[in-house]
Amino acid sequence: MQELTHFIGGKHVNGSSGRFGEVFTPMTGEVGAKVPLASPAEIRAAVENAKAAQPGWAATNPQRRARVFMKFVDLLNRDMNSLAELLAREHGKTIPDAKGDIQRGLEVAEFAIGIPHLIKGEYSDSAGTGIDIYSMRQPLGVVAGITPFNFPAMIPLWKCAPAIACGNAFILKPSERDPGVPLRLAELWIEAGLPPGIFNVINGDKQAVDALIDDPDVAAIGFVGSTPIAEYIYARSAAHGKRVQCFGGAKNHMVIMPDADMKQAVDALIGAGYGSAGERCMAISVAVPVGKATAEALMEQLVPRVENLKIGPSTDASADYGPLVTRDALERVRNYVDIGIKEGATLAVDGRGFKMQGYENGFYMGGCLFDNVTKDMRIYKEEIFGPVLSVLRAEKYDEALRLCNEHEYGNGVAIFTRDGDTARDFASKVQVGMVGVNVPIPVPLSYYTFGGWKRSSFGDLNQHGPDSIHFYTKTKTVTSRWPSGVKEGASFVMPLM
């Protein structure tokens, strides 16, 4: 069995804690590798290595940093196929889906190539008599990212690319369920010319997370995962005076208005609700048809589509989705379906009994579809994170809008309509961070920011885009006056401009 490593100071380093986790191959159910789980001492060693390397990188001028990013993007494109195969093997998503995972991360690395422009400060000439004021953006130092299993390429790149471009050293603690791609990214950074110690991968569990949070030399923490853990990391990190951005769970609604193109809406629900086996924080998990006729038309088209979803191994490019990431994840989703039945929802399509021929030990589940869901049910309130879609019927538009606004999560939302006034009103009034109009998964492009509202996000700044530059830098403002600009008898007690 393959034994994975950490990546510290530009090289692979064997774990020394004696503790390991299992990395499964979801499509077969077999254990494919074991991953070391770092001790606090190993975390400290990685932080010290990063701390030593960071000043030299911060002193590298921005355009030279940008050239490293140009090379890194070329290498990601060169190795796209092998990275996607590795990602699919460890995660379970199909290879086309894996390529999408890598591509959306690559785009943030492309955005970071513009770092010479992105970190420019401001300058005011003659703000007062003989006085100039200017600001500069400087790196924080050593920063860390704690990333989830469901996007093992995209989210690490969302975190590390802007951080490194700004002159920081970055420590990645990826999910122990699929660490292969993060380790490969570390190798590509070195090949691109990044100095050793600027990007490090340290594998681990809660021990490693707590050690990063508590380390006095880690200036900032970024996290993506479930809301309870996001809240824990945010509170503990803030108590240590760190800068923090933590992104949690979601329950994304899609409102279908009576005038919507129903075929387009159903196509969107199939992709957004069941793609990647529903293991996405931006997956649509609640469909809200407005009006009885809309609901009946939706269910008439949706049921056969869900019944005919093609589930396959990760290597099947024609599959709609592959297996879930672990057996525990599979059992958790099945349990939610059982809960929905007990709560009184109508299970219109039951995928719990699905078995993949030739892969009977894999972590597969067929698509499930609930109708007549109500807002007091657990399957509506809680994030299921699997191939389960709930239909909650609304009588009028105002009721549908209120459902979106009253839910504790506010990550993403969509509305399908042909009416511009309705779409505009919805986009203005909905209390959710990312909104799609006839777009089911409204993930912004790299030059905008990604982030939810309410209990989907903890912290003031979002991921990628301009917010990421603000998060990974601190602003210094300089007020200067030279002798030629000083009048005789001027007071310096409190300068008056």
Backbone angles phi, psi at 95, to 5 degrees: -65, -40
Tokens in use for 407? 């839910």
CB proximity list for 380: less than 8 A, separation 6 or greater: 251, 286, 373, 374, 390, 392
Our answer to whether residue 281 is catalytic in this structure is yes
- Cβ atoms of 257 and 485 closer than 8 Å: no
SS3 32: strand
Q: Residue holding tokens 């099947």?
A: 316
Angle, alpha carbons 316-317-321 (nearest 5°)? 75
Q: Which residue has the tokens 């509506």?
A: 380
| Beta carbons within 8 Å of 39's beta carbon, 6+ residues apart | 16, 17, 19, 207, 211
Strand partners, 201: 7, 172
Rg (CA), the chain: 25
Q: Crossing angle for the helix pair 95-112 and 62-78, nearest 10 degrees?
A: 170
Which region, left, alpha or beta, applies to residue 201 given φ > 0 means left and ψ of -120 to 50 means alpha? beta
Q: How far apart are CA 160 and CA 144, in angstroms?
A: 8
Residue 191, SS3 per DSSP: helix
- The neighbouring-strand residues paired with 107 are none
d(CA 403, CA 417): 17
| Active-site option among 166, 281, 368, 404 | 281
Burial letters for 24-51: b for 16+ Cβ neighbours within 10 Å, e otherwise? Answer: bbbbbbeebbbbbbbbbebbebbbbbbb
Q: For tokens 């939810």, name the residue.
A: 452
> Which residue type sits at 223?
F
Closest Cα partner for 197 from 43, 51, 71, 16? 51
Which residues are catalytically annotated?
281
